[in-house]
Amino acid sequence: MRIPSSVCITPCCVASEQIPAANDEFQRVAAELPGSRRAQRVPIMHHAAAYPKIGGTNVTDLPLPCEVRGQLEKPLLAAAIHAGHAVRPELAELLAIDGATRLREEDPFTNHWVQVAPTGVVGTASRFEVDLNRPRDGAVYRTPEQSWGLQVWKEPLPEALVAGSLRRYDAFYAEVRRLLDEAERRFERFVVLDLHSYNHHRDGPGSEPADPRQNPDVNVGTGSMDRERWAPVVDRFIAEMAEFAYPGRRLDVRENVKFRGGYFPTWIHHGYPKSGCVIAVEMKKFFMDEWTGEPDPEHIEAIERALSGAAAGVLEELERM
C-alpha cells in the first residue's frame, strides 16, 4: 500500500484509550449482550436492512456502524473498530466538540492495516456516537469521565437518540457473531487482530512525548485471553513485530504495558473460549501528528509491512495447533 503524501483524513477514519483491563463486569456484560453466544441465536443476514429483531430491539432502521471487507478465506480477521469518524446528523448538531478534537481521540489510518488479513471489519461510526470497544451500558459517552475529560454534548442526549446508537451497537455485535460463527465452523480456530492506536503527546502540539518506558511503539493486549492456550500464536506475533526491519530501528513491542485490551476482545474470548484468539494491537501514534491529523505515509506503509509479516507468522502457528 502506498499512501500519497497528500492523503487527507476522511470521515471514515478513531484513537483508542482502551478500557485498561478485562474484569468480572466485562464478563457479565459480555454474557448478557444480545450478540452473545449465550443469548438466543437468531438468523443473521449480511446486510443491515435484513436484520431481524435482536434481543427485542429492531435494528432495521439504521445502517451498520462498520463495513466488512474481503472474504472469509483463512482463519484470520483484522478489525479497526475505532477507525470511524462519521456521526449521524441528528447527533452531530448536539456535539460540543469539533471534528479535530474527535479525530484526536479516534484511530485514523488503522483502517488501512486491516488488509493484512483476508477479512476486515472497519468501523465507520465515530466512537463519539457509539464506542464499539466498551460494554453496552457505557458505549454512548454521557459524562466527561467516560471521554478523557471532554464534554462531548451541549446538553444531555435524548433517550431516543441514545437508543438509536445502541441499536447500531447491537447490529455490530450481531454481525461480528455471524462472521465468527462461520469462522469457527470452517476452521475450528481463528485469530482476530484488533487494531488501534494511542496518543503520546497529550500535553499539546510540540510537547515532549510521553515516557517511552510506559509507552511502547506497539502494545500487545492479552488481558482477557487464555494466555497459555494461545502462547504460540501470541509469542510469534510479538517476535515478528519486534524483529521486523523497521526503517532505521527496531520497534519497541511489549505486552500489557499501556493497555490490556478492551471490551471487544473480552466479548470474543468469552463467547469463543476454545476457538477464538484476539490480539489487541495498540500502535503509538508515531506514524502521524496526533494534533494536526497529518499522516506520515512511510511510517503507515512500514507498519503495514510489519503487521503483514506478523499475520503470516500467526497463521503458521495456528496451523500447527
Range list of β-strands (E), 151-225? 190-198, 218-221
Is residue 34's pLDDT more than 60? Answer: no
Residue 67, beta-bridge partner list: 122
Which amino acid is residue 163, in one-letter code? A
Burial 7-17 (b: 16+ CB within 10 A, else e): eebeebbbbbb
Amino acid letter at 102?
R
Express each pLDDT in 123-144 by its tens digit: 999 999 999 999 999 999 999 9
286-314 average pLDDT score: 97
The pLDDT tens digits of the residues spanning 48-67 come to 222 232 233 334 478 899 99
CB atoms under 10 Å from CB of 126, counted, come to 28
Per DSSP, the residues of 53-69 read: EETTEE-TTS--SEEEE
The answer as to whether 280 is a domain residue is: yes
| pLDDT score at 94 | 98
Domain membership flag for residue 273: yes
Q: Half-sphere exposure of residue 267, counting CA atoms within 13 Å on the CB side?
A: 25
How far apart are the C-alpha atoms of 23 and 36, rounded to whole Å? Answer: 17
Domain contains 15: no
- Does a structural domain hold residue 97? yes
CATH, residue 77 = 3.40.630.40
pLDDT of res. 31:
44
Judge whether 71 lies within some domain.
yes
In a domain? residue 9? no
Q: Domain residues for 148?
A: 24-320
- Read off the pTM: 0.83
- Residue position matching grid coordinates 497529550: 202
For 231-273, the DSSP string reads HHHHHHHHHHHHHS--TTS---EEESSS----HHHHHHHHHST
Is 129 a domain residue? yes
**Tell me, what's the pLDDT at 81?**
98
Residue 185 in any domain: the answer is: yes
What is the number of domains present in the chain? Answer: 1
